[in-house]
């Protein structure tokens, strides 16, 4: 007796997850030939020297598996950069691991420390991978909102969320999507708050080199009480304009990194070899990342000036990252999500609603633009937005 082929039913581990807003908006932007200021990636090329270094690495035969935690030269360069920038010394051998981008780094850190029933605090609005990562690890998500409008951490609410079941907290500075940057005082407050606990910190610092107006990036590496309990995540894709390479890294104390590597080796095991050699070579000159704040501040100022002069948007302060948030209240009565769809279809500019970064879809009439674009792209967007 024959039976028809049958695909078994699957019970999803992520019932609330669908297609991300970034994919939806980018697809709509392409369909409508809109200027895509939604998804956060540059539309300009990286330094040709970096491409030459990749070509040289491939020609030199660096095309097989690298060591699981990353090639020694790149880990040495990362440790040296962190020491020079933030004054904290990490062992390249035992405390630095090269990852397949920051997103893989974050889920690996979560899987390393979060067990079923553990609670993990996320500060909303937050990057969209955090919550699914926690759920995949069997953890419970505890959502604590940043202060609406200012997007500063609310330490009273964070303190109230801490319980004996709290395993970790995820922080992000410079912040996506709000473009705020944590201050030294805020980092010290977090350090003080967590001191009597066994809570781990996963610190998403992928925009570390994009801090404006003379401010500095307050990495958790600067604060001994935080560094001792933290996984620091960063991204070469963001820093060097090569988001498609998907190469990042994690720094953490040796006991934490040992557990991280256990997961990493059965997650991706290793990361693209020639890119690692190229990045190690390229990092010998710090000028590219030291000049990044000025590079992006000029783009921020160009875009912000146009918005202020040509539109009725109310600009929120962009302290870091490559995002500019605006309040749409004076422009439209639509919800954030409906406004972004309308803006893409009718005006020809794509943006992202901040409500997409909240679990409950909290709508505060704010949308996010990405200014990591060529000047001509930004000017084309401004010309269209002036029609509003």
Angle at 131 between CA 126 and CA 136, to 5 degrees: 155
Residues 6+ apart with CB under 8 A from 1: none
> For tokens 């001792």, what's the residue?
228
Gap between the Cα atoms of 124 and 358, Å rounded? 6
Regarding whether 270 and 172 lie in a shared domain, the answer is yes
CA 315 from chain centre, in angstroms, equals 22
Domain identity same for 108 and 216: yes
* Average pLDDT along the chain: 96
With respect to residue 14, please indicate whether it lies within any of the assigned structural domains: no
**Which H helix or E strand runs over 29?**
helix 21-32
Do residue 38 and residue 88 come from a single domain? no
pLDDT tens digits, 124-165: 999 999 999 999 999 999 999 999 999 999 999 999 999 999
Is the predicted pLDDT of residue 22 greater than 90, yes or no?
no
What pLDDT is stored for residue 3 in this prediction? 81
β-bridge pairing 366-370 and 200-204: unpaired
On the question of pLDDT at 71 being above 90, the answer is: yes
Q: What is the extent of the structural domain holding 138?
A: 62-288
Cβ–Cβ < 8 Å for 178, 120: no
Beta bridge partners of 211: 320
The yes-or-no verdict on residue 243 having pLDDT over 70 is: yes
Say which CATH number the domain at 66 has: 3.40.640.10
SS3 state of residue 42: coil
Residue 322 sits in a domain whose CATH number is: 3.90.1150.10
pLDDT digits (tens, 9 = 90+) for 181-194: 999 999 999 999 99
- The conformation of residue 43, written as its DSSP 8-state character, comes to S
Residue 198 CA to residue 327 CA, distance in Å, equals: 39
Please give the C-alpha separations between residue 123 and each of 131, 157, 264, in angstroms, as whole numbers: 11, 10, 25
The model's confidence at residue 327, banded by pLDDT at 50, 70 and 90, is: very high
Question: Do residues 187 and 267 share a domain?
Answer: yes
Q: Could you give the dihedral angle defined by the CA atoms of residues 95, 101, 107 and 113, in that order, rounded to the nearest 10 degrees? A: 0
In a domain, 16, yes or no: no
Closest residue by Cα to residue 79 from 367, 87, 41, 145 = 87
Maximum C-alpha span of the chain: 76
**Does a structural domain hold residue 55?**
no
Structure tokens at 156: 């009273």
Tally the domains of the chain.
Answer: 2
**Is the predicted pLDDT of residue 21 greater than 70, yes or no?**
yes
Q: Pick from 273, 288, 303: which residue ends a domain?
A: 288
Domain check: are 66 and 147 in the same one? yes
- Same-domain check for residues 249 and 131: yes
- % of residues, the chain, pLDDT over 90: 95
Quick one: which of 61, 101, 19, 26 has its CA closest to 274? Answer: 61
Q: Give the per-residue pLDDT at 2.
A: 67
Q: Are residues 96 and 233 in the same domain?
A: yes
pLDDT > 90? residue 20: no
Confidence of residue 1 (pLDDT cuts 50, 70, 90): low
């Amino acid at each position: 007796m024959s039976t028809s082929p049958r695909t078994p039913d699957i019970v999803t581990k992520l019932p609330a997850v669908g297609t991300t807003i970034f994919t939806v908006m980018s697809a709509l932007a392409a369909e409508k030939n809109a200027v895509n200021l939604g998804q956060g990636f540059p539309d300009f090329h990286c330094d040709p020297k970096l491409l030459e270094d990749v070509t040289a690495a491939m020609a030199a035969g660096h095309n097989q598996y690298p060591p699981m935690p990353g090639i020694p030269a790149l880990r040495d360069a990362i440790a040296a950069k962190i020491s020079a920038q933030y004054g904290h010394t990490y062992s390249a051998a035992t405390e630095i691991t090269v990852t397949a981008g920051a997103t893989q780094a974050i889920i690996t850190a979560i899987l390393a420390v979060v067990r079923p029933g553990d609670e993990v605090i996320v500060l909303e609005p937050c990057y969209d991978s955090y919550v699914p990562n926690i759920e995949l690890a069997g953890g419970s998500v505890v959502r604590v909102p940043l202060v609406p409008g200012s997007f500063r951490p609310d330490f009273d609410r964070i303190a109230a969320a801490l319980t004996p079941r709290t395993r970790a907290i995820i922080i992000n500075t410079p912040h996506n999507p709000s473009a705020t940057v944590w201050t030294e005082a805020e980092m010290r407050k977090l350090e003080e708050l967590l001191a009597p606990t066994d809570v781990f910190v996963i610190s998403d610092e992928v925009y570390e080199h994009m801090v404006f107006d003379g401010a500095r990036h307050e990495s958790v590496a600067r604060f001994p009480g935080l560094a001792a309990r933290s996984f620091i995540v960063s991204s070469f894709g963001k820093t060097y304009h090569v988001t498609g390479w998907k190469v990042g890294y994690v720094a953490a104390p040796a006991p934490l990194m040992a557990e991280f590597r256990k997961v990493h080796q059965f997650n991706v095991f290793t990361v693209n070899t020639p890119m690692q050699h190229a990045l190690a070579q390229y990092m010998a000159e710090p000028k590219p990342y030291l000049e990044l704040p000025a590079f992006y501040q000029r783009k921020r100022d160009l875009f912000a000036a146009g918005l202020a002069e040509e539109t009725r948007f109310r600009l929120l302060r962009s302290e870091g990252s490559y995002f500019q948030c605006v309040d749409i209240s004076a422009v439209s009565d639509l919800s954030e999500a409906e406004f972004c769809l309308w803006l893409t279809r009718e005006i020809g500019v794509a943006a992202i609603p901040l409500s997409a970064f909240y679990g409950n879809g909290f709508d505060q009439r704010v949308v996010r633009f990405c200014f990591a674009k060529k000047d001509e792209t930004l000017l084309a967007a401004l010309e269209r937005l002036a029609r509003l």
